[in-house]
Amino acid sequence: MKSRLCLASQSPRRAALLRQAGFDFWIYKPMVDETPVQGEYPAKLTERLSANKAEAAVQAAASENIESTVCLGSDTVVVLDDLILGKPVDSADAARILKHLSGSSHEVMTAVTVACGAWRESRQVTSKVTFCHLSDDVIRDYCASAEPYDKAGAYAIQGYAGSFVESLSGSYSAVMGLPLCETTALLALAGIHPCWKEGVCDE
């Protein structure tokens, strides 16, 4: 029997974080247009997209007659000087983004939404990340790896780019893509608890 919890995400990092926290779940990969609405603030964008992902999973579960499914959606943006830095389209774009981030501080905004039936609840987490100076050689070599290309802001804090981080104020897991403290609290409201709390974790 499928778990009651559905992760609405195409991100392997979010799945790894949710698994790490002790949750059993199945994955639905929503196709959501992530284009910002003109004039939309970054925080509103992440909240809207996280809700859209969760809603898409709710509808998919309903179409398969999977009852009482709790759906989780999340979205992350990197913001520098009020400018949203999305996922790079190619190596030149990744290099451009990283040059902007080099030696400066930026915000990482992550929203998470939990939905079940008509019930919805969202949380927003903003973290501040400061990068050390990145030389042109470092940027070039990093862009030659596969790491930047499906990541908001063209970097993965849990990967090679962890060495770029001079300081972090906020939630490490939120910068990765899923704020575990807020996620666990929202899921508890929906009656979903980690396996260690239920005493049913596999050894």
Q: Is 75 a catalytic residue?
A: yes
pLDDT of residue 177: 95
User: Taking the domains of the chain in order of start, what are their residue ranges?
Assistant: 5-198
The one-digit pLDDT tens for each residue of the chain (203 residues) are 557 999 999 999 999 999 999 999 999 999 999 888 888 999 999 999 999 999 999 999 888 877 779 999 999 999 999 999 989 999 999 999 999 999 999 999 999 999 998 899 999 999 999 999 999 999 999 999 989 998 999 999 999 999 999 999 999 999 999 999 999 999 999 999 998 876 667 65
pLDDT of residue 172: 98
Identify the CATH class of 5-198: alpha beta
Return the residue matching tokens 């559905």.
6
pLDDT of residue 198: 67
120, 189 contact by CB (below 8 A) = no
Instruction: Tell me which of 75, 81, 137, 141 is the catalytic residue.
Output: 75
